[in-house]
Amino acid sequence: MKKVFYAIAIAASIFTGCSSDDDDPIVKQPVEGEISGELATSKVFAYGNYTLKGMVKIKSGVTITFEKGSTITADKTNGEAGLIVLLGGKLIAEGTADEPIVFTEKSKVAGSWAGIIMYGDAPIVNSATAPAPQSAKSEDGLDLPYGGSNEQHNGGSLKYVRVEYAGQVITSNKKEHNGFSFYSVGAGTTLENLVSYKGNDDGFEFYGGTVSGKNLISYGNSDDSFDWQDGWKGQNNSNWFAYQTVKANYGMEIEAKGVNNAFGPKVTNITLKRAAGTVTEDQSEIQLDAIQFKAQGNGDYSNIIIDGYASQTTPTAFNGGAVQIKDVATYDNQVVGGKIKLTNVKVTNTPNLFITGATGFTVSAASFPGTNWGPTTTATGAALTGGKWATVDGVNLLANL
């Protein structure tokens, strides 16, 4: 009988060992591939490592999906490269906090590629006299029209996506790119947990439209961290973090093409930080303030932390400040007119609350009607949760938050 029990014990041990082996996790291997040309058929790119070659365009009616954890790498030695979502196309790139989707460039040099560009037909405003809907031509060298009347335009869903080393500038204001460029993108598009890392132009730029962005990080970009024009009016923006270092301009540059409009975007929970020693990119004008309003830019901003926008002594002496109003029209119509609201604002390591960018007016707390200017010591700014999506080469991008 003892031999029987011993045999059973041996068999059980063998069975248990086999079960343990069967339960070992299967490691999914990334596929390899190249993405180029016009994408005219909907496709899912499986988890993998892809080379992006040329200015790849997602055509109207086409949905392109990238699985979580994928890496898409451009190579500047192959020429200009970028991923463009044309009007009517959709990009679905939904990573996770620990399996982000990363768009990068082989050399890891800022300004090496064009980043992600998306087109929609949501409204823009670039003329006070032109009838609605209005349109304009893009400044990315593609010279494509943007603008329309579709406030709910849907260009897809970007979640936990990081763009690195973009912001390629070929001709200023005529052929330049950002980390993320959104032309007339509508409110049906999802933008959440996005990082623009060490680009050579703006981190995020909105050219009109109604889309909103949540949990956005603009880190180490050489121009503005967040920039918009053409009457962008996203209403559900929250948790924006800008960290500027080495060379940079404004934390947020806000304009509306000179149109005295009755609307503006709404952004809550903002942290704008500038590292010591950071200098403005363009030495011909003041561009080192946390927030600049110009050309009738306006909006509602709350729970803001501004830190480190100090005066610059070299190579050109400029005064640093929290808020710059560039021109008289913006001062008269947007500040005094009550269309700029900055509430629950905490300012540290910044010598001037306000900078006046032209002659003929002086900005002060008294310039803002009612409670439109609200300084505080208790603002909390952006609230973001870390993970691989916010980590580059072992550096936690949220360490300075």
Element (H, E) at 7: helix 2-22
What's the pLDDT tens digit per position in 138-169?
A: 999 899 999 999 999 999 999 999 999 999 87
Q: How large is the average pLDDT for residues 258-285?
A: 92
What's the pLDDT tens digit per position in 183-201?
A: 999 999 999 999 999 999 9
Largest CA distance in the chain: 106
Residue 209 has pLDDT above 90, yes or no: yes
Q: Which pLDDT score is estimated for 284?
A: 72
Q: Which pLDDT score is estimated for 103?
A: 98
Residue 67: C-alpha distances to residues 78, 85, 101, 181 (Å): 25, 17, 8, 22
pTM of the model: 0.93
- Residue 73 structure tokens: 């790498």
Residue 68 CB coordination number (10 Å): 15
| Residues in CB range of 245: below 8 A, 6 or more apart | 220, 274, 275, 278
Residue 297 has pLDDT above 50, yes or no: yes
DSSP at 77: G
Q: Which pLDDT score is estimated for 373?
A: 98
Residue 384 has pLDDT above 70, yes or no: yes
Where does the pLDDT of residue 176 fall: very low under 50, low under 70, confident under 90, or very high at 90 and above?
confident
Domain layout of the chain by residue ranges: 36-233, 235-389
The three-class DSSP label of residue 11 is helix
Q: How large is the average pLDDT for residues 310-315?
A: 90
The three-class DSSP label of residue 339 is coil
- Residue 173 structure tokens: 């204001």
What's the pLDDT tens digit per position in 70-115?
A: 999 999 999 999 999 999 999 999 999 999 999 999 999 999 999 9
Q: Which pLDDT score is estimated for 14?
A: 36
Counts for the chain of helices (H) and strands (E), in that order: 2, 30
Q: Which pLDDT score is estimated for 17?
A: 43
Query: Which has the closest alpha carbon to 244: 219, 227, 269, 226?
Result: 219
Q: What is the DSSP string of 291-304?
A: EEEETT--EEEEEE
Taken as a whole, the chain contains a residue count of 401
Residue 348 has pLDDT above 70, yes or no: yes
| Residues in CB range of 313: below 8 A, 6 or more apart | none
